[in-house]
Amino acid sequence: MRSEGGHRRYFRYQLRIAPRARELIDQGTALDAACRIIILEDQLTEAQRINTELRQAQQHPPTGQAPEPEISTE
């Protein structure tokens, strides 16, 4: 994406991941692999955030609702 003056414009996401990409590339990681690693790291972070929210919601159900029973993994 370019501005009216022809300058490159970056999205916040691109600016946020640039230092991590540079770090991986400086360590010898190929560009395509570095991009994949960053995507997977972002997906893991999002999954962890969702898990935390779900655990908190399970521990503190809205008023008037009983907590859902825990499912045994044994």
pTM: 0.65
The mean pLDDT of 36-43, rounded to a whole number, is 96
Across the chain, mean pLDDT equals: 87
CA distance 18 to 6: 21
Return all residues near 35 (Cβ < 8 A) that are at least 6 apart.
21
Give the count of beta carbons closer than 10 Å to the beta carbon of residue 34: 20
- Residue 42 DSSP SS3: helix
Say yes or no to pLDDT of 73 above 70: no
**Does residue 67 have a pLDDT over 70?**
no
- pLDDT given for residue 9 in this prediction: 87
